[in-house]
Amino acid sequence: MTRTTSQKISIVGMHCASCATSVSKALRAVPGVADAHVNLATEQARVDFAEDPVDIAALVKAVESAGFEATAPLTDTAPALPSSDRAAVREAQGRLFFAWLFTLPIMLIMAGSWMFGSPWPSPLLHQLLMLVLAFPVVFIVGSETMAGAAAAAARSVPNMDVLIALGTLAAYLTGLLALFSSLTSFAGIAAMIMAFHMTGRYMEARAKGRASEAIRRLIELGAKTARVLVDGEEREVPIDQVVRGAVMVIRPGEKIPTDGRITEGSSVIDESMATGESIPVSKTIGDEVIGATVNQHGRLLVEATRVGAETFLAQVVRLVEDCQTSRVPVQLLADRVTAVFVPTALGLALATLGAWLLLPDMMGSAAAALADFVPWIGQDLGRVSMAVFAAVAVLVIACPCALGLATPTALMVGTGRAAENGVLFRSGAALQALVEADTIAFDKTGTLTEGKPVVVGLSPCGSHTEQDLLRWAASAESGSEHPLARAIMNAAEQNADSLPPLSELTAVTGRGIEATVEGSTVRVGSLRFLREQGVVTGPLDDLAAAAEDASHTVVAVARDDSPLGVIAINDPLASGSRAAVQALRKLGLSPVMLTGDNGRTAASIGDAVGIERVEANLLPEDKLDHIRRLQEAGHRVAMVGDGINDAPSLAQADVGVAIGTGTDVAIEAADITLVRGDLGAAVTAVRLARATLRSIRQNLFWAFFYNVVAIPLAMLGLLHPVIAELAMALSSLTVVGNALRLRRARI
Ligand code: ADP
Ligand code: MG
């Protein structure tokens, strides 16, 4: 997947999907902006830039001219909890209470009148009471809605507020007109619509809070203070005062304040909160530790290596937040519909009003037929009252509030849950691409295997000794980061030889390295690499074949064009690989192995994990080619590999999945990052991605369903406006509730 740079900004003042649409339209109109996506649930916009980042001020201005407030979030500090969440819930709660305080008496009076068969206490008093009680609900509780509607109308970009405002205002107006005419008063209905609307908004605010719980938990994981050594003395300081290089003291049972390296002591560390891996790992001097993980046994001195926004936890939080504000391709259609929804609804309401006024008999035929079955139909309203009744119901039922919540809530819950299980999705598009993938390609080393190779055999050729072979190889490899290099270095250390220093090094990815050691050119790599470099490898062929027969990786060594021998290296299969490959196959993904290693080793590993399609001896560009060919054959390819060596193939695949452990993993490298080092996390990723996308699809369906079914009913006068509002509130709840179910989905 290709990527662009982007910027997040916070938006204040959005109430509905159509607000979000107008903000994203405004942002997209700014020159240099490739795409903008607004998330109603997180109240954030993500702006993707075509080339160079656009001035934030220009973005803020665009949002403001659309009638909303914008702030660019601070990017250079550690993530902080959004304080607005709880405040929003409290505010919504206040409005809710106030609304029902007046609406309940209205309902009682209406019920009483219905029971007595005549307006209670008297026709005139009844009408006045309705007007007086409904006033605060419509105009005070609803003041924000009214103001939002006025602002939107002034910009002639109608939003959901406009629908509610028009509906309640029209209903309230009938109450005033009823005083002087035979019109029926709907003033009480206006209050009920607003009260139910506020109920829906309150429930939404609460549910949004719950949807973002996972990210809140992640942020709260961070330590608040650290104990650092200053002149040999321990001193407790707030976490933001810990600087890189500071030495922290961590007692058993304490949380590690920030990312660092152990300088003294050893312990067992529970990293489950960071990696999703439940088995604690033992660590000692020199090992990296992750901030927010828990030191279980020993006392540790840890030198801080990353602080603030650089820490692993901060990166994870940022990534999850980014993902939650990103667009999921499936919602494209919904976005298009939302953009025209409110104007269409206004048009339909107007048409309903006109049709009932002009052709009451035709419009009323359905109502007449059903009058005996549905209690609110057929109360003989006059022609005008009936027209208002139907038009108000259309305005109210057409609110696209559920539509705006459908995708973001599911994405928030799904990706939050994923993060807690060590799976980080970069974007909604990555999530969808993983769902759509039918082929999954694996790198071998470090993905299917443990990635901790060990030297198991030294086969020198000619008169060379094992010592010689290892010494030259190890000194050349001392400059390389390749897992095989580490294996050779480890073997050399066991022999406790002081290595000759190396002066020059060229690494050829997927082939090997060439180094200058004590004036000679030493080459270490595949047989093919040595051959390409002009080394006569004849004397090595038999030795190599023997090692390959034993399924070992073969590394050949040459000094100044003459071969020294081969080193056999074994990288055992990671314990969960076979089960994970099987599970992925059950999920409908067909596995392929792409490796730079020799064919025989590759085949034997393939055999052990259960992959038949094995492509060996591949250079990095060959891996790329293979993926491209699979794609040309119509396959959607997910590629799993490490984020560093396999970066090009991860980028070529439809979705790149980087696997790693803890801080090793380059979070920026791939579309999906598996923080937990084992392949089981890939299975979790697929399952969660599917569950999330399924939830999004269901949500979009339900959001549309209510509207599509109910609008015609409302037009025909079959839907009571209060029931319409109730249905709208319910549709939001259905959608959010469905998204929250993801918290318990089986993964
Ligand atoms: P994989 O596809 O299994 O991840 P790589 O593409 O990293 O493997 O490497 C492919 C082959 O190239 C290795 O099996 C090895 O023979 C050789 N090679 C690459 N880099 C090195 C190195 N630094 N030292 C020794 N051999 C290397
Ligand atoms: Mg590799």
Give residue-wise pLDDT tens across range 660-672: 765 556 677 789 9
CA–CA separation, 714 and 394 (whole Å) = 5
- Amino acid in position 621: E
Ligand 1 atom nearest to CA at 555: 16
Ligand 1, pocket residues at CB < 6 Å: 443-445, 477, 480, 482, 484-485, 510-513, 524-526, 553, 555, 595-597, 645
- 555, 593, 642: which to mutate for ligand 1, most atoms within 8 A of CB? 555
Asked whether residue 361 carries a pLDDT value surpassing 80, the answer given is yes
Which residue's entry shows tokens 């009252």? Answer: 385
How many Å lie between the centroid of ligand 1 and the Cα of residue 512? 6
pTM over 0.75: yes
**How confident is the prediction for the chain on average, in pLDDT?**
89
What is the number of the ligand closest to the CA of 624?
Answer: 1
What is the rounded distance in angstroms from the CA atom of residue 297 to the CA atom of residue 300? 9
Protein residue whose Cα sits closest to atom 19 of ligand 1: 512
Residue 378, helix vs strand vs coil: coil
Task: Please state, as a whole number, how many other Cβ atoms lie within 10 Å of the Cβ of residue 284.
Answer: 12
Instruction: Please tell me the total number of residues recorded for the chain in this structure.
Output: 747
Q: What is the H or E stretch that residue 396 is in? A: helix 383-397
Ligand 1: distance of its center to the CA of 620 in Å?
A: 10
Closest ligand to Cα 614: 1
CA–CA separation, 279 vs 294, rounded Å?
12
Cis, peptide link before residue 343, omega less than 30° from 0: no
Q: Which residue's alpha carbon is at the smallest distance from atom 7 of ligand 1?
A: 510
pLDDT over 50 at 425, yes or no: yes
Q: What is the arithmetic mean of pLDDT over 97-109?
A: 96
Segment 19-36 mean pLDDT: 86
Summarize the confidence of residues 348-374 as an average pLDDT.
90
pLDDT digits (tens, 9 = 90+) for 227-276: 999 888 999 999 988 999 999 999 999 999 999 999 999 999 998 888 77
Structure tokens at 62: 């665009």
More confident residue, 728 or 693: 693
The catalytic position among 443, 646, 654, 678 is 443
Q: How far out from the chain centre does Cα 243 lie?
A: 30
Of residues 268 and 380, more confidently modeled: 268
Test site for ligand 1: of 448, 455, 482, most ligand atoms within 8 A of the Cβ: 482
How far apart CA 17 and CA 295 sit, in angstroms, is: 46
The residue whose CA has the least distance to atom 10 of ligand 1 is: 596
Spatial separation of the C-alpha atoms in residues 145 and 154, rounded to whole Å:
14
Q: Which residue has the CA at smallest separation from atom 13 of ligand 1? A: 597
- Per-residue pLDDT reduced to its tens digit, 426-458: 999 999 999 999 999 999 888 899 888 899 999
Residue 294 CA to ligand 1 centre (angstroms): 36
CB atoms within 10 A of CB 399: 34
Q: Report the range out of 214-228, 375-389, 559-573 with the highest average pLDDT.
A: 559-573
Tokens standing for residue 518: 């004590």
Question: Per-residue DSSP letters for 34-52?
Answer: EEEEEETTTTEEEEEESSS
Please, which pLDDT band fits residue 289 given cuts at 50, 70 and 90? Answer: very high
Gyration radius (Cα) of the chain, Å: 33
Pocket perturbation via mutation, ligand 1, pick of 472, 478, 514, 526 by most ligand atoms within 8 A of CB? 526
* Nearest ligand 1 atom to alpha carbon 482: 23
**Ligand 1 nearest-atom number relative to CA 510:** 6
- Region 340-364: what's the mean pLDDT? 93
| Residue 718, phi then psi, degrees to nearest 5 | -95, -5
Neighbours of 642 (CB within 10 A): 22
Ligand 1, atom 9, residue with closest C-alpha: 510
Specify the pLDDT at position 76: 45
How far apart are the CA of 639 and the centre of ligand 2, in A? 12
Is 453 in a helix, a strand, or coil?
A: coil
**Percentage of residues in the chain having pLDDT higher than 90:** 52
Strand ordering across the sheet containing 590-594? 423-425, 672-674, 655-659, 637-641, 439-443, 590-594, 613-615
Work out the average pLDDT over 567-575.
Answer: 92
Q: What is the 526 CA–ligand 1 centroid distance (Å)?
A: 7
Please say if the pLDDT value at position 78 is more than 60. no
A 10 A CB-CB count for 112 gives 14
User: What is the whole-number distance in angstroms between the Cα of residue 645 and the centre of ligand 2?
Assistant: 6
Tell me, what's the pLDDT at 496? 53
Q: What is the pLDDT of residue 169?
A: 96
Which residue intervals of 179-211 are DSSP H helices? 187-211
State the pLDDT at residue 483.
84
The per-residue pLDDT for 569 is: 95
How far apart (Å, rounded) are the C-alpha atoms in residues 726 and 734?
12
Give yes or no: 270 in active site. Answer: no
Write out pLDDT tens, residues 675-685.
Answer: 887 899 999 99
Calculate the dihedral angle through the C-alpha atoms of 139, 141, 143, 148, rounding to the nearest 10 degrees: -130
Evaluate if residue 495 carries a pLDDT over 70: no
Smallest-distance ligand from the CA of 567: 1
pLDDT band per the 50, 70, 90 thresholds, residue 478? confident
